Amino acid sequence: MKPLVGISCCTKLFGTFGMVNHAASDTYIRATHEVVNAVPVLIPANGDACDIDTILSRLDGIILTGSRSNVQPSLYDGPPHAEGTPEDPARDSMTLPLIRAAIRNGTPVLAICRGMQELNVALGGSLHQRLQDLPGRMDHSTPMQPNGKVRTGKAHSVSVVPGSWLHRVAGATTIGINSLHNQGMDRLAPGLVVEGTAPDGTVEAVRVATARGFAVGVQWHPEYDWMTDAVSRAILASFGDAVRARVGALGAVAD
């Protein structure tokens, strides 16, 4: 049987009456099915009602997704967001304790975009809310125009740390990535190590050095272009290898 990989959801309003739904983009579903070679399982953003122990007892890996919403500043002692900035408290209340428990448990974690920001906050780091407002920083946000290939196309390079996990996966010290975020890493959480940076110094990839298992974050979206980009596919495949290794290890213990 294939492993089960949990995919974090956001709360979003849908329909005529704006009812709350739990949602994740189809890009994560397809990448999990076609590259990770696992069965995707959506994890609802149900806040404190989330039964994390039960979830981790059933799932073999976790993907933390990107989102338009920002992590609540109160969770890292930051100033309030600018008016109109989308937040998702129910998601934050689910993902942050899930991250900490998954790392303790040795469950493989792949954190993408907002997911990487959640990873940093969950472990004690902080965030910049709008990188484009900082002196010397690039605008890392999504181009607001209708052409999807431009919105999700390569936006800038990343310098990869030699000898890092990302270096081994990418097979290069410089890669091109898409860029669709406003928030970015400020204070790096204890236990996180930098795997790659943007030309302006923004942290673009991290690894949890103290984790029992696979736990990495990338600020871009490999699930958007794994069909055409070898590095994106390799990142997802590396996570898939870790998931299967985890399943194998647990199976050996059970035997």
DSSP 63-128: EEPP-SSB--GGGGTPPPPPTT--B-HHHHHHHHHHHHHHHHHT--EEEETHHHHHHHHHTT--EE
Give the pLDDT of the chain (255 residues) as one tens digit per residue.
899 999 999 999 888 888 999 999 999 999 999 999 999 999 999 999 999 999 999 999 999 999 999 999 999 999 999 999 999 999 999 999 999 999 999 999 999 999 999 999 999 999 999 888 888 888 777 766 666 665 677 878 999 999 999 999 999 999 999 988 889 999 999 999 999 999 999 999 999 999 999 999 999 999 999 999 999 999 999 999 999 999 988 776 665
- Token pair, residue 249, equals 């290890």
Does residue 37 contact residue 2 with C-beta atoms inside 8 Å? yes
**Which residue(s) pair with 19 in the sheet?**
14
- Could you list the active site residues? 113, 221, 223
Residue 131 is classified by DSSP as G
- Domain-wise residue ranges, the chain: 4-254
C-alpha to C-alpha distance for 207 and 53, rounded to whole angstroms: 23
The residue count for the chain: 255
Q: What are phi and psi of 57, to 5 degrees?
A: -75, -20
| Domain 4-254 top-level CATH class | alpha beta
